[in-house]
A and B are shown apart, each in its own frame.
Chain A
């Protein structure tokens, strides 16, 4: 998997794979340019682990809150007209989108 020219963090193949998952069309030139840039960013972030020791848990939330719940009570949402007002195409009170091929209903 290792790709010459990039650091251990991320390879050119990784970037191509992620671009595919994100539905971003990257040219070969863009991959050549972006892969090393992303590697630099990852390396910079990785320096954090040099100061964070084993007893410091990874952080996923900036605010120390837990158990924020809502009562199970219905509140009115949007009308269908409001909900569909930003849709590029509407058909039968539904959002119309290009059909994804290769999938069964």
Chain B
């Protein structure tokens, strides 16, 4: 177990006064191919244990692997989208280790010949752009899932044992590794988080994976070291695993900075080890030390021939790339006519895709932005959920705005329509009907209310007669109050001016 738990972690801000963090991120993306990396087994998530296995992924004698063409294409497209060079010739390698999650006793991976290398991704935080350099993206296979059974329920004479399901063994993975990243320390955790967020956006836009952190199809390891401020040599790093949400990336980062700082302050050294992040406490605990056991004795996989993508294939795949997220943001900002600050608010609120989809459904950009960042953002905060988990769709928001544009509801009534949507009362039309929210623009009803308002406010009426049309606001307010906000304000103004001129 860890020898470091006796030290109280130093506060993040305090740590930054003495140390500079250097971090790297390793992201594993489980590809969404129909079959495994080296065999034709089904990859559908959630099947009964050991129902998606064959002699290849169980490593039965004589079985031979064959590479999945779509997985290679996906890996190349990820590499191209990350501005990487694509290897003109590369091989798979055996990473040898004894652990029951791989029945072969090795994982087929790539070692010194990754399919993609030397790329970058620009990450935006608070309107500032930081370039994260990509060292490599390589192909490999996932491992099986172990279920650890305690002694009391075990059948091996009371001893604990592990139960293995190999459905996941052999599912294609692409591992994306950054170079060490150095950015101002106070920004670093947010840059790490934004990188993973943007990388996920890119993976989704490429359509190569569902990239669900909660189901493990996108997994992140945070490597972190500290060095005394103003020095250049890299310190000893820890590798934190189990970082399964964007928020956890930031929390794990900050925790490790504090832990490393407390060790270095006490004159102790950081142990190079794997650590596990605990979502509940926001802390990390020691996994295993990097030692002889990490001597993987890689060698070229003799059962698989080299992958040699020709230039024509690479260019064909380049032609299938989606718009870069950063380019898309710039384009949308220009289309919507937003200032940098306004755009930053939209992105920061996680509303970019929602606003874009609402605009696609016919809403004006200003209205779409107003609803998502106003009414709906408030509702999301109250419920402590993300905007896209609120249960209100861009189509519904566009429908509500359509009602506003048609003059059938005003902004105030629209808020009540959103209340109805959040309460699951049906479509905007149904809510307007059920709650009786439609504005009254019928001259008969409005005229009577206007007459009463004029009668009740003779001094205001006199001002308007005298040419002060701005004074009409007070009468409009009185009419709105009487009609519980459901009057057509534009028509009310016209009726007032008609009567008093």
Contact = CB atoms under 8 A, between A and B. Distances in A.
A60 B112 CA distance: 14
A66 B39 contact: no
Contacts of A73: 34-35, 40
B276 interface: yes
Interface in A62-105: 63, 65-75, 77-80, 83-84, 86, 89, 91-100, 102-105
A98 B149 CA distance: 10
Contact of B35 (A21, A66, A72, A78): A72
Nearest to B293: A21
A91 B155 contact: yes
B163 A21 contact: no
B34 A74 contact: yes
Interface in B97-150: 98-100, 146-149
* Size category of the binding interface on chain B: 35 or more
B485 interface: no
Contacts of A21: 96, 292-293, 295, 297
A61 B306 contact: yes
Given A67-B305, A74-B42, A96 B155 contact: yes
B362 interface: no
A94 to B, nearest CB: 4
Contacts of B161: 89, 91, 96-99
B162 A96 contact: yes
B72 A69 contact: yes
Contact of B52 (A17, A61, A77): A77
Interface in B147-185: 147-149, 155-156, 159-166
A98 B160 CA distance: 7
* Size category of the binding interface on chain A: 35 or more
Nearest to A63: B305
A3 B58 CA distance: 40
A71 B69 contact: yes
Contacts of A92: 49, 147, 163
B307 A96 contact: no
A20 B35 CA distance: 36
B308 interface: yes
Contacts of B149: 91, 96, 99
B463 interface: no
B41 interface: yes
Contact of A72 (B69, B99, B162): B69
Nearest to A21: B295
Given A21-B292, A105-B148, A61 B67 contact: no
Contacts of A86: 60
Contacts of A103: 99, 287-288
Contacts of A65: 305
Contacts of B159: 98-99
B221 to A, nearest CB: 14
Q: Chain B CB within 10 Å — which of A20, A73, A97 has the most? A: A97
Interface of B: 33-35, 39-42, 48-55, 57-58, 60, 66-72, 89, 91, 96, 98-100, 146-149, 155-156, 159-166, 276, 287-288, 292-293, 295, 297, 299-300, 302, 304-309
30 contacts: A21-B292, A21-B295, A60-B299, A61-B306, A66-B305, A67-B306, A67-B309, A68-B66, A69-B67, A71-B70, A74-B34, A75-B35, A75-B41, A77-B52, A77-B57, A78-B55, A83-B50, A83-B53, A84-B50, A91-B149, A93-B165, A94-B147, A94-B164, A96-B155, A96-B161, A97-B162, A100-B162, A104-B276, A104-B287, A105-B146
Interface of A: 17, 20-21, 23, 60-61, 63, 65-75, 77-80, 83-84, 86, 89, 91-100, 102-105
